[in-house]
Structure formats: C-alpha cells, structure tokens
Amino acid sequence: MKYSNQERMLVAVDSIIIGFDGNEYKILLIQRGFAPEKEKWSLMGGFVQKNESLDDAASRILDQLTGLKNVYLEQLHSFGKPNRDPIERVIAVTYMALIDIQQYEQQINNDFHARWFPINQLPKLIFDHEEMIDMALMKLRYKATLHPVLFELLPDKFTIPQLITMYEGLFATEIDKRNFSRKILSSDLLIKENEKDKSSSKRGAFYFRLNRETYKKNFQRIHNFLPKN
Amino acid sequence: MKYSNQERMLVAVDSIIIGFDGNEYKILLIQRGFAPEKEKWSLMGGFVQKNESLDDAASRILDQLTGLKNVYLEQLHSFGKPNRDPIERVIAVTYMALIDIQQYEQQINNDFHARWFPINQLPKLIFDHEEMIDMALMKLRYKATLHPVLFELLPDKFTIPQLITMYEGLFATEIDKRNFSRKILSSDLLIKENEKDKSSSKRGAFYFRLNRETYKKNFQRIHNFLPKN
DNA sequence: CCAAAAGTGTTTGACTTACACCCATGC
DNA sequence: GCATGGGTGTAAGTCAAACACTTTTGG
C-alpha cells in the first residue's frame, strides 16, 4: 500500500565540513561528478538511499567522498525551494561537520577530488550551497559563543594561544590572553601536559588535552569564554 | 531529464504547535483523518506539494488544519528513519509554532477536529511524533533561556506575574519576582499600560505590551531573565 | 484592619575586565 | 642581555541574588 496522489521527490544530504588550520577557517568542497553543473564546486552531498536514515546517509556520504569517519556531525536545516535543483525536485537536508584539518589533510588531498577553501575565498558554488554555508557559519558562531564546540577542530594536543587564535578567527575580535586563560582553565575542560610547543615562541606554550569526560557532561552548559564585546 | 537510479520518497511537514493557557503548556493535536492509524492523535502534518517550499507547506498545513495564520513558525529538525511510517518511506520536516492560546481557542475547537493537550498528559501518538515533541520542548527551553521567544505565547496585553508563571512553568522552577521584574523592565522590551489586571489580586498588576521594535532588533541578543540555578 | 499579591530598595558577593608585571628562552 | 611571546596577580567595576520592607485594596 502507498499514499495516493502524492508527489514523491529526491532527498539529498549536503554536508558543510568545517576545519581550522591554525590561521583560518576552511570548508571542504568537491568537484561535482555528474550533470548538471558537472565539475563545478559543491558541498559534499548525495542522495538518501532506500534503507538508510538521514544521519546514516550523512555519515556514508562523508566517508565515501573523504574517508572521514567518527567526526562531529550535526543536522542543521532542510532546504526545499521547488526549483533549487534545475533537474528535478530535491529536498536537501544539511549537516555540519567539524574536523581537525591536520589529521586528514593529506588523506583528503591525495585520495579524493576534494579541496579546502578558506571561508572568505570560496569559489562559486552550485544551487543554494552558498546559503547553506552561511547558515552553517552563523550556527557555528552562535554555538561556539555558548558551548565549547570548537575543540572539535583541534588536534589532540593544543596550546592556549592556539585556542585564542581559533576564537579570534571565528569572531573577528581580539581576546585578552590573560583573561581567556583564566576562564578556560577554571572550566575544568583542559588537562595540562608536561610537553611544550616551541614552534611559535622561545619560552614555549604548554600543551593541553581536552578532558573528554567533563566536555561531554557539561557540553550543554553555557560557558563564557568570550569577552562581552 | 531526471537523476537516474535514485529512490524518490514522500516529504511531510509536521508542526508542533505550542501554547500556554496561563497555567500550563499545551500542544495542539489532531485526529488523523486517513489510514494508517486513522483516528489516532497526531501532530499537524501533511505532505509537501509539487510547487511549494517547506516553509510554505508548513504555513499551508497549519492554516488548513487550524485556521492559524501569521504565527511564529520555525523549522526544527528532519526525521528520516526508513520505517518511521509503515506505509511507505516518508521524510518528516518538523516545525515549531508558538501561539497565544486564548486568541484561537474557540476557533480551533469549533471549526476543526483539533484539541489542546497539556504537555504532561499527552495521548499516545502515531509514529515518532512523541520524539518530535520532546525535541521541540527541549529546543523551546533552550531558546527561551537565551531569547525572549516566550512572548509569542502571550496575548497583546499581559502582566509581569503572568510572565513569571510562564517562565516557571516551562522550567519547573521558582523565580524571585523582584529580581525578575528588575531584569525584564531594564531590558527595554516592555511598554507599560495604564490599565491593571485585577483578576488575581486586589491591588492589581499593571498590563504591559511587547515593544515589537526592540523585540525584533534584539531578539538574537542573549537576555538573561532566569536565575542561574 | 487584615490578608495577600504587587512592587521597591539595599546589601552582599561573585564574576569580568583592564592592566601592570614577571617568566622563560633563543638569538 | 634583550626581544618576544607565555603566563600570573590584582584592583576596580558590574551585575545578579537574597531578602526586608512598603504599597494597594477588597472583604
């Protein structure tokens, strides 16, 4: 049995994959492999298959196009204007992925036709993908103001100055390192290592690791690492 | 031309319509008019048609099933487990609507087969609609912690004690009226009327109206009307 | 005049900011 | 020994919480 007299349509998943390379935020794009707009740059996307959920589709597509597994992946918003795809009606469910660029950079560049673009130097994109990216960045800024989600972008070991650069990049603001340190250290989210990163100063900055337990437990709590204005 | 070898599926919109009657939060449900699960209680839903966007579909369905127009309506989340509807594959995009119950109570009860249920006395619902409601309430709590969205639930004129009851109901907490008053009055969101509501005390409480300008302009700003714990 | 809700004022303490200053080290 | 980024300490200011108290008015 089926519902009668109803229009059936394709459902696609498109993922906005965001990374931070230590200086800038980047988005992973791919050259579309089929018509229309073949060879044009596009978000990572694909159609939802018969027996998979939306989340499963997002994970599968991410894996197929980039080899990425077990990354932070969150559903964002669904787009459904009737003519957003000129070929036929397609509903697009977007997901946002946050990944540590360094861990995957080689793999992605070598094995797949994907490329990282800085967020202020994006190429022209197909369909409504630019709108999707705008929405993802707005959401990320909003979420990062309140929750420590940006840690997903960092490697296992990172320094507080790196953290500061990351926050400053996303919010285009300057952060007082002394106050930031105090706040983040009092949050119980970081575990200090003995090792130092000497790549950007003579004295060296201590490495920290994320305390995954308190991170998960207190993720929904509102943290306030940013200055008010 | 069409994309080949892809599965097309139905796309539905389901709206969680939330109201507050002065004492409790309620959700508007309808008795489903067609099989399967005919006569069972369900969210307001329907299929997305050929030439309408998702937002348009949500507005149209809301209007058709309840007569409601121009209400607060926000896309929430999309649900797509393969067997969530036993008849055939259906992707459901959920929307949350917030309305002033009193303004529409008569209209809805008389003209449509819809009914308000208190959120802790919901009937058994079809498919995954309970999960959708849970998600909507979580989202509403989250949003109301940070933004003055609950004003959407109130009539044009309301008192501060009513506001307090509304916040207390959603967060199951007690609020100090003196501190709450000070915070909300200093927010610039309210315009004081000369009239008083004497229905719940001898002295009477002044009516206020929402300042729509500052409301819209500062909606995204973080307000903090709730106590910390 | 009293009960009961509305509303005002004040103290306390926690948290943020701003900023002076010290530390470590490669050159 | 000095320049440079990393990190600590502290005083001043701001804001929310707690709570005692006054106002209003129907019965």
Class of domain B149-217: mainly alpha
CA–C1' A87–C11 (A): 69
Architecture of domain A10-146: Alpha-Beta Complex (3.90)
Are A89 and B1 inside 8 Å of each other by CB? Answer: no
Are A54 and B93 inside 8 Å of each other by CB? Answer: no
Mean pLDDT, all residues of chain B: 93
Cα(A144)–Cα(A223) distance, rounded to whole angstroms? 9
Residues 6 or more apart from A142 whose CB is under 8 A from it? none
Task: Read off the pLDDT of residues B82-140 as tens digits, 9 standing for 90 and up.
Answer: 999 999 999 999 999 999 998 877 777 666 778 999 999 999 999 999 999 999 999 99
> Which run of H or E residues covers position A107?
helix A101-111
| Mean pLDDT for the stretch of residues B191-195 | 94
Report pLDDT for B109: 67
Cα(B66)–Cα(B43) distance, rounded to whole angstroms? 12
Are B54 and A79 inside 8 Å of each other by CB? Answer: yes
- 3-state secondary structure at position B141: helix
CA–C1' A203–D4 (A): 9
Report pLDDT for B59: 97
Cα(A141)–Cα(B142) distance, rounded to whole angstroms? 16
Tell me the nearest-neighbour CA distance from B135 into chain A, angstroms: 13
Cα(A157)–Cα(A215) distance, rounded to whole angstroms? 15
Quote the DSSP letter at residue A40.
Answer: S
Report pLDDT for A229: 63
- Contact residues, chain B to chain A, C-beta under 8 Å: 1-3, 6-11, 47-54, 57, 75, 77-82, 87-91, 93, 145-146, 222
Residue A179: count of CB within 10 angstroms of its CB = 11
| Residue of B8, B52, B57 lying closest to A8 (CB–CB) | B8
- Domain spans of chain A, in order of start: 10-146, 149-217
> Using CA atoms in the order B40, B45, B50, B56, what is the torsion angle rounded to 10 degrees?
160
Task: Read off the pLDDT of residues B203-229 as tens digits, 9 standing for 90 and up.
Answer: 999 999 999 999 999 999 999 999 886
Report pLDDT for B38: 83
Report pLDDT for B153: 96
Strand D, nucleotides covered by protein (CB < 7 Å): 3-10, 16-20, 23-26
Name residues of chain A where pLDDT drops below 70. 106, 109-111, 229
**CA nearest B183: which of B216, B222, B139?**
B222
CA–C1' A206–D5 (A): 13
- Is B30:B111 a contact under the CB 8 Å cutoff? no
Q: Can you spell out the DSSP letters for A116-142? A: EEETTS---BSTTHHHHHHHHHHHHHH
